[in-house]
Amino acid sequence: MNKTTYLKSAYTNSTKENIELLIKYFQNIGGKTLTGICRKQNAFKVKWKDTEDSLMSRCHIQNASEYLLSIIGNYSEGQIKIVIADISKYIRNLDDNEDVSFIILSTNTLPSAIHFNIATILFNSHQIREQNQNNYNTDLLVIYSLRLSLENRIRGLLGIDYATSKGKNIGLNSLIKLSKELKTVKYSKAVNWTEIEWINIWINHHMHRHIRPYPWVIYQAIESLKPFVDPKEPYIFENTVRYSFYSATFVENEEEFHIEIESALKLVYPEIAIKWLSKREIMK
C-alpha cells in the first residue's frame, strides 16, 4: 500500500488547501472527538503510563487540529513545520501508513549559546532577530512569560509581594491552593482552578528541564488562563455588572479578605513572614 503524505505535503508546501487537508486528516486519525477537559488534562500531563499512549496521541492530535484551525487565517510556514515535526511521533502511534520519514529535526534541541544570544539581543535592542522569530526559538520564552503573568496575578490578587516560612519562600503552587479555597472573594464562573493547577505543573516541568512545549499546548494554556489573567467579560453577579482588568475576582470587604488570607497562611505556616503589596489586583 502506498503511504499517504498529508504531513509531507503541508510541510513542503504550506498552502491553505494543504493545511485544510491536514486538519481533516488530524480530525480523522484522532478518532471520536474527546471532551475539552480530557484533551486539556492529557495535554498538560507531565508523566503517563505506557497504556495511555493511544489516548495521549489522540489528545495531542485533536489539540493540534484545534490550534491549526485557530491560525488558518494567518500563519507562517515556520509555524506549520514546527507543528508537523512535533506531531509526527503521535501520528506514528496511530497511523503506520502516513509518511513521517522526512522528519529529521530534533525539535527540543537548542544550544545554550542560542538562548543566550536571543536574551542578549532582546535586552539590547528590545527585539528578536528575524531568523529567530519562530516557535523553535521563542516558545520557551513564552512559557516563562506565562509563568510570570500567572504568578503576578496570584500575588496581586492576594496582595502579597512575597511570603517566607523559616527562611524559605512560599511558592506559587501553595498560593494557588490557598487562592482557590478563599471564601471572601467571588471568582468568575469562567475561572477553572483545576486547569490552572495543571498548567502551573506543566510550566514548571518544561521550565526546569528546558523543554520546548508543543505550540498547540501553549495555545490551550493561554485559552485556559485568559478568564483569570486577562478577562474580557464583565463581572456579573445578581444585579451587579462591572468592567475591570480584574473582573475575574470580586471582593466586597477587603479587610475580611485580608484577614482570611493571613489566617489561612498562618494555619499552614505558623512562622510565616509576609510582605504585603500596597494594592491588590481585585475588583471591589
Q: Mean of the per-residue pLDDT values for the chain?
A: 92
pLDDT at 210: 86
CB 147 within 8 A of CB 207: yes
Helix axes 215-229, 135-158, angle to 10 degrees: 20
Convert the pLDDT of each residue in 223-273 to its tens digit: 999 999 999 888 777 777 778 888 899 999 999 999 999 999 999 999 999
How many Å apart are CA 86 and CA 64, to the nearest integer?
10
pLDDT at 105: 63
Nearest to 179 by CA among 166, 161, 160, 207: 160
With 80 as the cut, is the pLDDT of residue 23 above it?
yes
What mean pLDDT comes out for the span 216-225? 98
The owner of cell 503511504 is 3
pLDDT at 173: 96
φ, ψ for residue 23, nearest 5 deg: -60, -45
How many Å apart are CA 100 and CA 157, to the nearest integer?
47
With 80 as the cut, is the pLDDT of residue 104 above it?
no
What mean pLDDT comes out for the span 187-212? 94
The owner of cell 509576609 is 274
Convert the pLDDT of each residue in 67-102 to its tens digit: 999 999 999 999 999 999 999 999 999 999 999 999
Number of residues that this document lists for the chain: 284
User: How many H helices and E strands in the chain?
Assistant: 11, 7
Convert the pLDDT of each residue in 25-69 to its tens digit: 999 999 999 999 999 999 999 998 889 999 999 999 999 999 999
Convert the pLDDT of each residue in 123-152 to its tens digit: 999 998 888 888 888 898 999 999 999 999
Handedness of CA 97, 87, 56, 67 (dihedral sign): negative
pTM attached to this predicted model: 0.93
- Give 114's DSSP letter: H
With 80 as the cut, is the pLDDT of residue 1 above it?
no
pLDDT at 109: 64
How many Å apart are CA 13 and CA 29, to the nearest integer?
21
Nearest to 72 by CA among 21, 114, 31, 140: 21
- CA distances 282 to 77, 107, 241, Å, are 41, 40, 15
pLDDT at 50: 87
How many Å apart are CA 248 and CA 234, to the nearest integer?
8
